[in-house]
């Protein structure tokens, strides 16, 4: 049995055995990269650690990390571990309210800041009592910077190793219905889970020139999100992979084409954009005649020609989008996990023909999946959280006999494949007394390219109503053309639904749904209750109009 290793033990291993191998690569946005070998990483992490220790913070203090992805993010995260403290990552663009709540609840006195998405409001959010340190992408005034720290502080020379049950991070949930909850994970959890995750993702450990091919990872989703942290930061750390960081959306395509990662993880919105970029170059009507060589060129253009495993997650992916990628030879595997389970859960691994809509089976032998009598998905395994920070009641409600109660409704087929059907509590009751689960209805509309984001609501209404925003493609159409297209689609979809589930109206909003206006969570999930409240009176006002309605808000 392999001995469990904590993240810092892996850092010490690689800086001693493969010091000259490049671990981190930071794109500078101009086709150039700044590279950090393990020796560089060890040196910088130890200088940041020495700075943190010079502040004489109380033992196991919470230290905030608020930034978009960068090589600096991982350097700081490791330094917080090495200094014996606990990281508290914040999402880029996190709302002022939730950020203030987290900073107060965790008694934050030190914060590392990069491009945080709230630069204009930083003085209203971050108290002057908090010491701030600038990292890659920071554009605001801070007390210190990493560059100054590298110049002013010597490396910390000790090789501190925490206890395996010591907390290493508190990751806050999106807070869709209340204040966000702080999910606590330990150093030992990382070591217990990551080797199995790496094996599922077909990553082999690189330990020198005679080892298997070294994995290449590409990071652009927020590392504050547990899935990116688990699949990129920690698999990279444990397998000695090379991690490349995007400089931003402007240089993204050029960067991923040059990296050609061997593993790639993205969310449905990106897969839609990928397909749209191909459609713009090759009309969909011409795509059925593409040769294998043509499809290989498309995979190269998307940066996915050498990826062994490609994951989509965080939200359901439309079946037609999924099947399009499969036809292009890009094997998208849906995965399902949560912050509370250290992103472990299920993934389609059995073969290279995933079933669209299914998130597969348990991702490793260390994970168990079952459904409750109410069809709630329950997960048990080594990745389960230590609990919610300062919230024993929520911990007791969610953790029962070692099983984490996800709040998701699921279905298991006779092969053990899991399909997520929605969230407990999302259902509503129409004026006709019918209970409606919105997720299955919403899935019918995912193929409509004229819509961007949308939800189905209907509490107290005669029939369900779809409220959403118009996509870029939809905005290119005239109002009459858009209305006609959506009306035809609405009739076709309603013919597949029982009468009581049929959608009476599609109501289109001119207001984008963003993190800033509170209609999206920091992880880009829909704030259902907030959206419903925001639109409900306008929906009721326009319910007597015809099927497609342009809302004024």
Q: Is residue 246 part of a domain?
A: no
Q: Is residue 196 part of a domain?
A: no
Domain boundary (423, 442, 474) is at 423
The pLDDT value given to residue 173? 81
Q: Are residues 168 and 272 in the same domain?
A: no
Q: Are residues 394 and 366 in the same domain?
A: yes
Q: Are residues 366 and 500 in the same domain?
A: no
For residue 436, pLDDT over 60 is answered with yes
The pLDDT value given to residue 344? 94
Q: Is residue 213 part of a domain?
A: no
d(CA 391, CA 379) in angstroms, rounded, equals 20
Residue count of the chain, please give it.
553
By mean pLDDT, which of 174-178, 488-492, 539-543 is the weakest?
174-178
Q: Is residue 340 part of a domain?
A: yes
The pLDDT value given to residue 352? 72
Q: The domain containing residue 75 runs over which residues?
A: 7-16+31-184
For residue 177, pLDDT over 60 is answered with no
The enclosing domain of 462 has a CATH number of 3.30.300.30
Domain boundary (158, 184, 210) is at 184
Q: Are residues 323 and 461 in the same domain?
A: no
Mean pLDDT calculated for residue range 190-212: 87
3-class SS of residue 55: coil
CA torsion angle 245 249 251 256 (round to 10): 50
What band does 484 get if pLDDT is binned at 50, 70 and 90? very high
d(CA 218, CA 258) in angstroms, rounded, equals 10
CB-based contact 519:534 (threshold 8 Å): yes
The pLDDT value given to residue 414? 87
3-class SS of residue 86: strand
Q: Are residues 320 and 467 in the same domain?
A: no
Structure tokens at 522: 């920091």
Q: Are residues 408 and 456 in the same domain?
A: no
For residue 1, pLDDT over 50 is answered with no
For residue 507, pLDDT over 80 is answered with yes
The pLDDT value given to residue 546? 80
For residue 241, pLDDT over 60 is answered with yes
The pLDDT value given to residue 17? 94
The pLDDT value given to residue 508? 93
For residue 522, pLDDT over 80 is answered with no
Q: Are residues 298 and 378 in the same domain?
A: yes
d(CA 298, CA 300) in angstroms, rounded, equals 5
d(CA 91, CA 365) in angstroms, rounded, equals 31
For residue 295, pLDDT over 90 is answered with yes
Structure tokens at 296: 């290989």
Mean pLDDT calculated for residue range 253-268: 93
Structure tokens at 286: 């011409």
Mean pLDDT calculated for residue range 489-509: 93
pTM of the prediction? 0.88
Q: Are residues 37 and 155 in the same domain?
A: yes
3-class SS of residue 170: strand
- Between strands 131-134 and 33-37, the pairing is unpaired
Residues 6 or more apart whose CB falls under 8 angstroms from that of 222 comprise: 68, 69, 91, 92, 228, 522, 523
List, for residues 448-480, the tens digit of each pLDDT value.
Answer: 989 999 999 999 899 999 999 999 889 999 999
The enclosing domain of 277 has a CATH number of 3.40.50.12780
Mean pLDDT, the chain, integer: 92
What band does 2 get if pLDDT is binned at 50, 70 and 90? low
Q: Is residue 218 part of a domain?
A: no
- How many angstroms separate the most distant Cα atoms in the chain? 72
d(CA 518, CA 534) in angstroms, rounded, equals 10
What band does 510 get if pLDDT is binned at 50, 70 and 90? confident
What stretches of 360-417 adopt beta strand conformation (E)?
Answer: 361-362, 367-371, 376-381, 387-388, 399-400, 403-412
The pLDDT value given to residue 543? 87
Whole-angstrom CA distances from 397 to 227, 309, 410, 544 are 23, 35, 19, 43
The enclosing domain of 96 has a CATH number of 3.40.50.980
The pLDDT value given to residue 178? 63
Higher pLDDT, 144 or 432: 144
The pLDDT value given to residue 317? 85
Q: Are residues 281 and 403 in the same domain?
A: yes
Mean pLDDT calculated for residue range 418-445: 88
What band does 349 get if pLDDT is binned at 50, 70 and 90? confident
Mean pLDDT calculated for residue range 245-270: 92
Roughly how many angstroms between the first and final C-alpha of the chain, as a whole number?
60
For residue 303, pLDDT over 60 is answered with yes
For residue 175, pLDDT over 60 is answered with no
3-class SS of residue 205: coil
d(CA 255, CA 130) in angstroms, rounded, equals 35
Instruction: Name the domain count of the chain.
Output: 3
Look up tokens 């963003």; give the residue: 514
Q: Are residues 271 and 409 in the same domain?
A: yes
Question: What percentage of the chain exceeds 90 in pLDDT?
Answer: 70
Mean pLDDT calculated for residue range 167-196: 88
Q: Are residues 340 and 414 in the same domain?
A: yes
Q: Hey, CA dihedral for 267, 272, 276, 278, is it positive or negative?
A: positive
Domain boundary (135, 162, 184) is at 184
Residues 6 or more apart whose CB falls under 8 angstroms from that of 520 comprise: 513, 514, 526, 527
Q: Are residues 357 and 440 in the same domain?
A: no
For residue 11, pLDDT over 90 is answered with yes
d(CA 545, CA 2) in angstroms, rounded, equals 66
d(CA 80, CA 134) in angstroms, rounded, equals 15
For residue 24, pLDDT over 60 is answered with yes
What band does 21 get if pLDDT is binned at 50, 70 and 90? very high
d(CA 20, CA 32) in angstroms, rounded, equals 20
Phi/psi at 369 (5° precision): -125, 135
3-class SS of residue 118: coil
List, for residues 363-387, the tens digit of each pLDDT value.
Answer: 777 899 999 999 999 999 999 999 9
Q: Is residue 136 part of a domain?
A: yes
């Amino acid at each position: 049995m392999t001995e469990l290793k904590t993240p810092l033990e892996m850092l010490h291993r690689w800086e001693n055995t493969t010091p000259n191998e490049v671990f981190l690569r930071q794109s500078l946005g101009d086709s150039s990269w700044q590279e950090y070998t393990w020796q560089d990483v060890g040196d910088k992490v130890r200088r940041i650690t020495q700075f943190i220790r010079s502040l004489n913070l109380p033992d196991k203090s919470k230290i905030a990390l608020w930034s978009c992805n960068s090589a600096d993010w991982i350097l700081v995260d490791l330094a917080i571990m090495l200094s014996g403290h606990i990281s508290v990552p914040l999402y880029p663009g996190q709302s002022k309210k939730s950020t203030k709540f987290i900073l107060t609840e965790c008694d934050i006195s030190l914060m590392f800041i990069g491009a945080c998405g709230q630069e204009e409001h930083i003085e209203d959010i971050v108290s002057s009592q908090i010491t701030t340190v600038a990292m890659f992408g920071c554009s605001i005034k801070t007390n210190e910077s990493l560059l100054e720290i590298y110049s002013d502080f010597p490396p910390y020379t000790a090789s501190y190793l925490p206890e395996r049950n010591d907390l290493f991070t508190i990751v806050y949930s999106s807070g869709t219905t209340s204040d966000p909850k702080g999910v606590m994970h330990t150093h030992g959890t990382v070591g217990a889970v990551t080797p199995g995750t790496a094996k599922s993702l077909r990553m082999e450990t690189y330990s020198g020139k005679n080892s298997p091919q070294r994995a290449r990872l590409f990071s652009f989703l927020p590392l504050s999100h547990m899935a990116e942290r688990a699949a990129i930061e920690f698999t990279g750390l444990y397998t000695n992979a090379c991690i490349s960081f995007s400089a931003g959306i402007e240089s993204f395509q050029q960067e991923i084409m040059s990296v050609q990662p061997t593993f790639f993880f993205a969310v449905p919105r990106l897969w839609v954009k990928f397909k749209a970029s191909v459609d713009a170059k090759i009309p969909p009507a011409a795509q059925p005649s593409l040769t294998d060589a043509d499809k290989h060129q498309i995979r190269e253009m998307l940066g996915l020609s050498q990826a062994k495993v490609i994951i989509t997650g965080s939200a359901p992916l439309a079946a037609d989008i999924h099947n399009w990628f499969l036809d292009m030879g890009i094997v998208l595997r849906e995965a399902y996990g949560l912050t509370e389970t250290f992103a472990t859960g299920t993934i389609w691994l059995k073969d290279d023909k995933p079933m669209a809509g299914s998130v597969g089976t348990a991702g490793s032998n260390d994970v168990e999946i079952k459904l409750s009598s109410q069809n709630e998905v329950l997960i048990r395994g080594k990745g389960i959280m230590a609990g919610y920070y300062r919230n024993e009641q929520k911990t007791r409600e969610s953790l029962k006999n070692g099983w984490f109660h996800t709040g998701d409704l699921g279905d298991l087929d006779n092969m053990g494949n899991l399909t997520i059907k929605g969230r407990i509590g999302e259902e509503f009751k129409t004026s006709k007394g019918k209970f409606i689960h919105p997720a299955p209805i919403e899935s019918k509309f995912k193929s409509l390219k004229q819509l961007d984001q949308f939800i189905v609501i209907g509490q107290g209404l005669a029939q369900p109503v779809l409220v959403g925003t118009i996509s870029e493609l939809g905005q290119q159409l005239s109002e009459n053309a858009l209305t006609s297209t959506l009306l035809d689609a609405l009739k076709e979809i309603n013919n597949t639904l029982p009468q009581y589930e049929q959608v009476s109206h599609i109501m289109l909003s001119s207001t984008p749904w963003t993190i800033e206006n509170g209609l999206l969570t920091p992880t880009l999930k829909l704030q259902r209750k907030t959206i419903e409240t925001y639109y409900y009176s306008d929906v009721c006002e326009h319910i007597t109009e015809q099927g497609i309605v342009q809302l004024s808000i």
